[in-house]
């Protein structure tokens, strides 16, 4: 009986160490992944390489590149190539973000809006990370509803590319912030509960949560707070 209890305790301790290791590696890689994103955004703004990617063409390039990279990450996540492929993906995402960054920088207070969006995104992440560490109940059931919500806003976003409605963009941005903030909580809880054991996969989902919240916040700030000369 004692041996069984000791084995159980050892197994629990080992499992906790594994979860902490995954979380630690995820945070390090997540921080690292922001550097190629910034570089990609800078290259895009400096060269104007993404300015022609408007409407349907921009959507095709973005979706094709994003899903292509995500497929490659899934295939390489257990190999030495996993981290470079993930960092390549984050550079691509920064490049795709550069068109919006360039538009925001066209405002007199553009730099302040970008910093505000960064601070707001960091604040959301901190709140969700704190909640994930204190919530004890299983929230895995949220996953299917969040997925449905993400699909709905993606379809709405695609439609709005062709409609060009400012009200539609505002509604979609608010929905994106709500859904992907909740996704942050869900994904962090998955890591803490041992539901995700690969730190590259964990980094990918958290990066997408952060990217979407930042982009939506930036869009809202540009709509409501942009000051033209």
* Residue 189 structure tokens: 């809880």
Give yes or no for residue 107 having a pLDDT over 50: yes
Instruction: Give the phi and the psi of residue 50 in degrees, each rounded to 5.
Output: -100, 5
Q: What is the pLDDT of residues 123-176, one digit of tens each?
A: 999 999 999 989 888 888 888 899 999 999 888 888 887 777 778 888 999 999
Helices 199-225 and 2-47: crossing angle in degrees, nearest 10, is: 40
How do the domains of the chain map onto residue ranges? 2-225
pLDDT (tens digit per residue) in 163-193: 777 788 889 999 999 999 999 999 999 888 8
Where residue 137 falls (left for φ over 0; alpha for ψ -120 to 50; beta otherwise) is beta
Q: What is the mean pLDDT of the chain?
A: 86
Average pLDDT over residues 208-217: 94
The whole-number pLDDT of residue 210 equals 95
Question: Residues 9-49: pLDDT tens digits?
Answer: 545 556 777 778 888 999 999 999 999 999 999 999 988 88
DSSP 195: S
Convert the pLDDT of each residue in 64-87 to its tens digit: 888 999 999 999 998 889 999 999
User: 189 Cβ partners below 8 Å, 6+ apart?
Assistant: 132, 135, 139, 140, 195
Other CB atoms within 10 Å distance of the CB of residue 159: 12
User: What pTM was computed for the model?
Assistant: 0.88
């Amino acid at each position: 009986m004692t041996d069984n209890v000791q084995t159980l305790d050892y197994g629990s301790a080992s499992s906790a160490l594994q979860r902490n290791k995954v979380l630690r590696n995820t945070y390090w890689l997540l921080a690292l992944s922001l550097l190629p994103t910034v570089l990609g955004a800078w290259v895009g703004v400096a060269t104007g390489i993404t300015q022609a990617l408007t409407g349907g063409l921009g959507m095709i390039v973005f979706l094709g590149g994003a899903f292509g990279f995500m497929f490659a990450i899934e295939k390489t996540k257990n190999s030495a190539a996993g981290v470079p492929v993930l960092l390549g993906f984050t550079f691509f995402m920064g490049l795709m973000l550069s068109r919006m960054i360039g538009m925001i920088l066209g405002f007199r207070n553009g730099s302040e809006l970008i910093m505000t969006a960064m601070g707001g995104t960091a604040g959301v992440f901190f709140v969700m990370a704190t909640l994930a560490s204190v919530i004890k109940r299983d929230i895995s059931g949220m996953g299917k509803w969040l997925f449905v919500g993400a699909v709905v806003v993606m379809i709405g976003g695609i439609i709005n590319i062709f409609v060009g409605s400012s009200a539609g963009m505002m509604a979609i941005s608010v929905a994106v912030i709500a859904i992907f903030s909740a996704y942050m909580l869900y994904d962090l809880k998955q890591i803490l509960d041992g539901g995700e054991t690969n730190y590259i996969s964990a980094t990918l989902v958290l990066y997408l949560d952060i990217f979407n919240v930042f982009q939506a916040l930036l869009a809202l700030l540009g709509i409501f707070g942009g000051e033209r000369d």
